[in-house]
Amino acid sequence: MKNFLLAFSAILLISTCHSQGLLQGKEKFTHQDTLRGSITPEREWWDLTYYHLDIEIKPELKFISGKNTIYYKVVSEPNEFMQIDLQQPMEITKAIQDGKELEVQIEGNANFILIPTKQNIGDIKSIEIHYNGYPREAKRAPWDGGFSWKKDQNGKHFIATSCQGLGASVWWPNKDHMYDEVDSMLISVTNPKGLTNVSNGRLRKLVKNNNNTVTSHWFVSNPINNYGVNVNIGDYVNFSEVFKGEKGDLDMNYYVLKENLEIARDHFKDAPKMMKAFEHWFGPYPFYEDSFKLVEVPYLGMEHQSSVTYGNQYKQGYLGRDLSGTGWGLKFDFIIIHEAGHEWFANNITNKDIADMWIHEGFTSYSENLFLDYYYGKEASADYVIGTRANIQNDKPLIGTYNVNNEGSSDMYYKGANMLHTLRQLIEDDEKWRQMLRGLNSEFYHQTVTTKQIEDYLSEHSGIDLTEFFNQYLRTIKIPTLEYEIKKGELKYRWTDIVEGFDMPIQVDIDGKSEWLFPKAKWQTKNIKSDSFNIDRDFYVNSNKI
Ligand SMILES: [Zn+2]
């Protein structure tokens, strides 16, 4: 999810760019961006193993307080400081290790905790970070996130968090960098009685307190990225079903506002359909141990791990609209399909640096057309992904700037999807392609990765050197252009607008027959009987007839 409305309305374009400006429109980066976006010396010496986030939420005051106990393993010679991120105006009130309060030096959103005792490589340690404050209120969740403090139609609190890009440190203290994930996590949330909190993983315990509050303890037994952690509080009812999946029984649970129970029972039939299609293409759902949940929220939606949030108003498409303009986009609820697709690409395979976020959004946007492929066939899915090309801006490369928490272009969605659709044509074997998509999910199971790792995997398993292919589509805004001329029974052709060495073969129709051309930067010629020449629409390229 994110930055997604960019192409669809001028008004939204302006407001989205405003929020994007914080993250990706920048030419210059600050020291704070480096502290946030790089693996600093104060981060690299310790590896996260476990968080216990334990907080109380007071909706009337819009105030939160509590602590995060961070467990970690010392993996290299310790720095004298440990960096913990928490964005202002939230405040760390104290940091405690081995019963002693430690000194905290604050530098903007980074907190440097002085570690007074010698720690040895291999040690497992914990530190308690106590904090409180009035967290940033989401201005336009999920793009400009934080806490959404809303009410349902009965006047009851309806609260949710969203923080992709902005970072989880907007509401809780953590090591706010994508490269390092905890192995498991406990989320304990205290809220007023009469409201239900749904977080990630499984509800381990629900405790009624004496002061008109309840505490829910949610346990996540798999690695989870920080922005995936969420709190959703409302007057929820729930229903569930068991999905017979590749790894056995998977319980799928749905939490919705009371008034939407009936419509949700019908509308959420897309969820098991999604699971079936995506297990086919990508392999087993990566979080059986934590169940799958869809949770209604007062904003559009987000890929929160094992508790995907939903706010698409029970409509088909994207709030009732078809992003491809072909009609196929109205065959499914965009938020259910897209956000759940992220369970494989974003939550299972996670980028180490958000400059590589195309790994999340490119593959997940591509998953929309694989869903269509599964139920409506190859032509329908091709129509859809090709239709989404109208949304591509070619403003900036898909890969952003490394080490400063910077995303690439919003083209990571549909240019990313069309790049993968093009790659499928090059593989020319759908079963092999499917095994590669499944292979990515087992090779990089529960890992954080770089673009290079994904490129190498795809090159190796396709048997094609894709170096220039990825250089072209990920690192430039140039669309390869097939330039050609037909004269006196001869076809002359070459690639232009390409990176050095780009020589992607392409399928064309010549004289009514489909065949491969192998264009290079230099002109080549071929005999042709008539002037009937067409380029296969599945390739995301331009053409120029001279
Ligand atoms: Zn997404």
d(CA 172, CA 65): 9
Residue 27 is predicted with a pLDDT of 67
Residue 15 is predicted with a pLDDT of 33
Amino acid at 425: Q
Residue 432 pLDDT > 90, yes or no? Answer: yes
Helices (H), 24-91: 31-37, 41-44
Residue 516 pLDDT > 90, yes or no? Answer: yes
d(CA 501, CA 495): 10
8 A C-beta contact, residue 514 and residue 502: no
Residue 26 is predicted with a pLDDT of 56
In the reported structure, the alpha carbon of residue 410 is separated from the centroid of ligand 1 by a whole-number distance in angstroms of: 10
Q: CB neighbours of 495 closer than 8 A, spacing ≥ 6? A: 480, 481, 482, 483, 502, 503, 504, 519, 520, 521
Q: CB neighbours of 318 closer than 8 A, spacing ≥ 6? A: 312, 329, 334, 335
- CA 475 to chain centroid, in Å, comes to 20
User: What would the pLDDT profile of 36-75 be if each residue is shown by its tens digit?
Assistant: 999 999 999 999 999 999 999 999 999 999 999 999 999 9
Percent of the chain with pLDDT over 90: 93
One-letter-per-residue 3-state SS of 126-181: EEEEEEEECCCECCECCCECEEEEEECCCCCEEEEEECCCCCHHHCCCECCCCCCC
Residue 24 pLDDT > 50, yes or no? Answer: no
Decide the pairing of beta strands 506-510 and 533-535.
antiparallel
Q: Which of 164, 229, 181 minimizes the C-alpha distance to 446?
A: 181
User: What would the pLDDT profile of 256-313 be if each residue is shown by its tens digit?
Assistant: 999 999 999 999 999 999 999 999 999 999 999 999 999 999 999 999 999 999 999 9
DSSP class of residue 99?
Answer: T
Q: How confident is the model at residue 531 (pLDDT cuts 50, 70, 90)?
A: confident
8 A C-beta contact, residue 333 and residue 321: no
Tell me how far CA of residue 346 lies from CA of 39, 135, 225, in angstroms: 20, 25, 9
In the reported structure, the alpha carbon of residue 213 is separated from the centroid of ligand 1 by a whole-number distance in angstroms of: 35
In the reported structure, the alpha carbon of residue 360 is separated from the centroid of ligand 1 by a whole-number distance in angstroms of: 7
Residue 117 is predicted with a pLDDT of 86
CB atoms within 10 A of CB 75: 14
User: What would the pLDDT profile of 4-23 be if each residue is shown by its tens digit?
Assistant: 443 333 333 333 333 333 44
Q: Which of 460, 454, 469, 479 minimizes the C-alpha distance to 505?
A: 469
> Two tokens at 96?
């405690």
8 A C-beta contact, residue 231 and residue 187: yes
Q: CB neighbours of 229 closer than 8 A, spacing ≥ 6? A: 53, 168, 172, 185, 187, 199, 200, 220, 304, 305
Residue 235 pLDDT > 70, yes or no? Answer: yes
User: What would the pLDDT profile of 406-416 be if each residue is shown by its tens digit?
Assistant: 999 999 999 99
In the reported structure, the alpha carbon of residue 346 is separated from the centroid of ligand 1 by a whole-number distance in angstroms of: 8
Q: CB neighbours of 386 closer than 8 A, spacing ≥ 6? A: 324, 326, 418, 421, 537, 538
In the reported structure, the alpha carbon of residue 415 is separated from the centroid of ligand 1 by a whole-number distance in angstroms of: 13
Residue 420 is predicted with a pLDDT of 98
In the reported structure, the alpha carbon of residue 208 is separated from the centroid of ligand 1 by a whole-number distance in angstroms of: 36
In the reported structure, the alpha carbon of residue 405 is separated from the centroid of ligand 1 by a whole-number distance in angstroms of: 17
Collect residues with CB below 5 Å from ion ligand 1: 1, 361, 364
Tell me how far CA of residue 333 lies from CA of 7, 232, 267, 313, 378, in angstroms: 19, 21, 8, 10, 19
In the reported structure, the alpha carbon of residue 107 is separated from the centroid of ligand 1 by a whole-number distance in angstroms of: 32
In the reported structure, the alpha carbon of residue 265 is separated from the centroid of ligand 1 by a whole-number distance in angstroms of: 24
In the reported structure, the alpha carbon of residue 310 is separated from the centroid of ligand 1 by a whole-number distance in angstroms of: 13
User: What would the pLDDT profile of 343-368 be if each residue is shown by its tens digit?
Assistant: 999 999 999 999 999 999 999 999 99
d(CA 225, CA 25): 24
d(CA 199, CA 188): 9
